[in-house]
Protein backbone atom coordinates (compact mmCIF):
# COMPACT_ATOMS: atom_id res chain seq x y z
CA UNK A 1 0.00 0.00 0.00
CA UNK A 2 1.42 3.37 -0.99
CA UNK A 3 1.13 6.10 1.61
CA UNK A 4 0.59 9.69 0.50
CA UNK A 5 3.47 12.10 0.96
CA UNK A 6 3.49 15.84 0.43
CA UNK A 7 4.34 17.08 -3.04
CA UNK A 8 7.67 18.91 -3.45
CA UNK A 9 8.28 22.34 -4.86
CA UNK A 10 8.90 22.09 -8.62
CA UNK A 11 12.53 23.27 -8.36
CA UNK A 12 13.95 20.16 -6.69
CA UNK A 13 13.47 16.41 -6.62
CA UNK A 14 11.79 14.87 -3.61
CA UNK A 15 13.88 11.70 -3.97
CA UNK A 16 16.86 10.71 -6.11
CA UNK A 17 18.08 7.13 -6.37
CA UNK A 18 21.72 6.36 -7.18
CA UNK A 19 23.96 3.34 -6.59
CA UNK A 20 21.48 1.64 -4.25
CA UNK A 21 20.91 4.77 -2.16
CA UNK A 22 17.94 7.10 -1.79
CA UNK A 23 18.66 10.79 -1.26
CA UNK A 24 15.53 12.39 0.22
CA UNK A 25 15.02 16.15 0.28
CA UNK A 26 14.33 17.91 3.56
CA UNK A 27 11.00 17.00 5.10
CA UNK A 28 8.94 19.35 7.25
CA UNK A 29 5.68 18.81 9.10
CA UNK A 30 3.15 20.42 6.80
CA UNK A 31 -0.46 19.38 6.99
CA UNK A 32 -3.04 19.44 4.20
CA UNK A 33 -3.97 22.94 5.41
CA UNK A 34 -0.42 24.04 4.53
CA UNK A 35 0.33 24.81 8.17
CA UNK A 36 2.68 23.07 10.56
CA UNK A 37 1.26 21.71 13.84
CA UNK A 38 2.26 23.44 17.07
CA UNK A 39 5.33 22.22 18.94
CA UNK A 40 8.47 20.39 17.94
CA UNK A 41 7.18 17.01 19.19
CA UNK A 42 4.08 17.10 16.97
CA UNK A 43 6.10 18.40 14.05
CA UNK A 44 8.74 15.70 14.45
CA UNK A 45 6.12 12.93 14.56
CA UNK A 46 4.36 14.27 11.47
CA UNK A 47 7.50 14.81 9.42
CA UNK A 48 8.77 11.33 10.29
CA UNK A 49 5.38 9.97 9.19
CA UNK A 50 5.77 11.85 5.88
CA UNK A 51 9.35 10.60 5.58
CA UNK A 52 8.29 6.99 6.23
CA UNK A 53 5.65 7.33 3.48
CA UNK A 54 8.19 8.74 1.04
CA UNK A 55 10.61 5.91 1.76
CA UNK A 56 7.85 3.28 1.51
CA UNK A 57 6.89 4.63 -1.91
CA UNK A 58 10.49 3.95 -2.97
CA UNK A 59 10.60 0.45 -1.44
CA UNK A 60 12.59 1.51 1.62
CA UNK A 61 11.81 2.36 5.25
CA UNK A 62 13.03 4.28 8.29
CA UNK A 63 15.11 1.27 9.41
CA UNK A 64 17.16 1.66 6.21
CA UNK A 65 18.08 5.29 6.92
CA UNK A 66 21.86 5.57 7.02
CA UNK A 67 22.33 9.31 7.53
CA UNK A 68 20.15 12.18 8.74
CA UNK A 69 20.69 15.92 8.75
CA UNK A 70 18.43 17.80 11.15
CA UNK A 71 17.73 21.53 11.14
CA UNK A 72 16.13 22.91 14.29
CA UNK A 73 14.89 26.49 14.39
CA UNK A 74 15.29 26.70 18.20
CA UNK A 75 18.25 25.18 20.09
CA UNK A 76 15.99 24.57 23.10
CA UNK A 77 13.98 22.05 21.02
CA UNK A 78 16.84 19.55 20.86
CA UNK A 79 15.81 17.34 23.81
CA UNK A 80 12.15 17.12 22.74
CA UNK A 81 13.11 16.44 19.12
CA UNK A 82 15.64 13.80 20.18
CA UNK A 83 13.03 12.00 22.32
CA UNK A 84 10.60 11.61 19.40
CA UNK A 85 13.40 10.80 16.94
CA UNK A 86 14.58 8.03 19.29
CA UNK A 87 11.09 6.48 19.23
CA UNK A 88 11.33 6.02 15.45
CA UNK A 89 14.88 4.71 15.06
CA UNK A 90 16.63 1.74 16.66
CA UNK A 91 20.28 0.68 16.84
CA UNK A 92 22.28 0.85 14.79
CA UNK A 93 21.12 4.46 14.60
CA UNK A 94 21.70 6.51 11.46
CA UNK A 95 24.65 8.86 11.62
CA UNK A 96 23.28 12.33 12.28
CA UNK A 97 24.20 15.98 12.17
CA UNK A 98 21.99 18.52 13.93
CA UNK A 99 22.26 22.25 13.27
CA UNK A 100 20.28 25.30 14.34
CA UNK A 101 18.96 27.24 11.35
CA UNK A 102 16.20 29.62 10.36
CA UNK A 103 13.10 27.73 9.16
CA UNK A 104 12.51 27.72 5.43
CA UNK A 105 8.84 26.71 5.72
CA UNK A 106 6.41 28.97 7.64
CA UNK A 107 5.97 27.70 11.19
CA UNK A 108 8.50 24.86 10.81
CA UNK A 109 10.58 24.17 13.88
CA UNK A 110 12.37 21.11 12.44
CA UNK A 111 13.42 19.77 9.05
CA UNK A 112 15.07 16.39 8.36
CA UNK A 113 16.96 15.24 5.27
CA UNK A 114 18.05 11.61 4.92
CA UNK A 115 20.06 9.16 2.87
CA UNK A 116 18.69 5.61 2.98
CA UNK A 117 19.42 2.24 1.43
CA UNK A 118 17.08 1.55 -1.47
Residue 101 domain boundaries: 15-117
What is the value of pTM for the model shown? Answer: 0.86
- Say which residue, 34 or 1, is predicted with more confidence: 34
CATH number at residue 108: 3.30.1330.40
Q: Is 22 left (phi over 0), alpha (psi -120 to 50) or beta?
A: beta
Number of structural domains the chain divides into: 1
* Structural domain includes residue 3: no
CB 50 within 8 A of CB 29: yes
> For the chain, what percent of residues have pLDDT higher than 90?
76
Tell me the per-residue pLDDT of 27-85, one tens digit each, with 9 for 90 and over: 999 877 778 889 999 999 999 999 999 999 999 999 999 999 999 999 999 999 999 99
* Structural domain includes residue 5: no
* Structural domain includes residue 8: no
Confidence of residue 103 (pLDDT cuts 50, 70, 90): confident
Amino acid sequence: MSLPSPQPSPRFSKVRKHAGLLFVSGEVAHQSSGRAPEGVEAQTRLLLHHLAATLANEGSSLDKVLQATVHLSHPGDFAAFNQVYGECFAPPYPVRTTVVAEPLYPGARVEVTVVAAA
